[in-house]
Structure 1
Amino acid sequence: MKDVFEMTDLGLMTYFLGMEITQKKNEIFICQKKYAKEILKKFQLDECKIMNTPMNQKEKFSKEDGADKVDEMHFRSLIGCLMYLTPTRPNILFPVSVLSRFMHCASELHLKATKRVVRYIKGTINYGVRYY
């Protein structure tokens, strides 16, 4: 390809589309640590307590749960940020997909559960995907 196109070798990739990439001899590690910190700061959760799990398994969600409704734009923004984080954090994929079902009718309970996911991210900020 170098014969046909003008190319420059920039070396090993370290950052691409918000993903931090660490390449070693036999492994590649991809994470979004910087983006996770930006989410914490954007939603004023950078000083929150951490959680050990992203979701309470026994909690059931419904559209009409009797709780007060929340600002849909705020909730959608938070869910959107978490969705962008899921390619490198498969451990939050299930809770984010469950909570995304309530973007049009978000209540205080849904927002509380979403903030729990963010609090979990704070405690696991160095997590990512490792390929061998």
Structure 2
Amino acid sequence: MEQSEDQILAEELAALGAVGGGSGRLVGMMAKLMRKNVHEVDLHIASPFDDVVKHVTDVLAKAGRAVETPHISPGEDETIRVVVGGGAGGLNPVVVTARVLKAEDDRSEVWLRAAAKEGLIRQRAGEETAVRLAAELSRAT
């Protein structure tokens, strides 16, 4: 069963809460109530689809830990999902989803989405992570 961004973020925050001997379950419940900072970036890359998929997979693998990829209808696309550390000290989990689409000629499109939960202090972890990873993905493939 596919997990939503909210479920993944709640589980990641619960795990962080349990590390210090606290109640991870309570943190997980509270995380479901927190607002989400989401940022999306569209990239157009002048490289063949297979090369772009490999590049995106490599960049995201270095940035974080792979999690279950959402099921997208079959076609000429590939979806990769990871959890990376964002915000102050990299302690705020960010779910990053990248979808690579085959475009015309030898071009590809990458839709990048980063989402993080936010407490009282706005860290914009989703936005900052999306911008940072988009810059890395835009470098030569």
TM-score range, shorter chain: under 0.3
Structure number with greater Rg is 1
Larger RCO, structures 1/2 (Cα 8 Å, 6+ apart): 1
Q: Which has the higher strand share?
A: 2
Q: What is the TM-score with the length of structure 1 in the denominator?
A: 0.27
Q: What is the TM-score with the length of structure 2 in the denominator?
A: 0.26
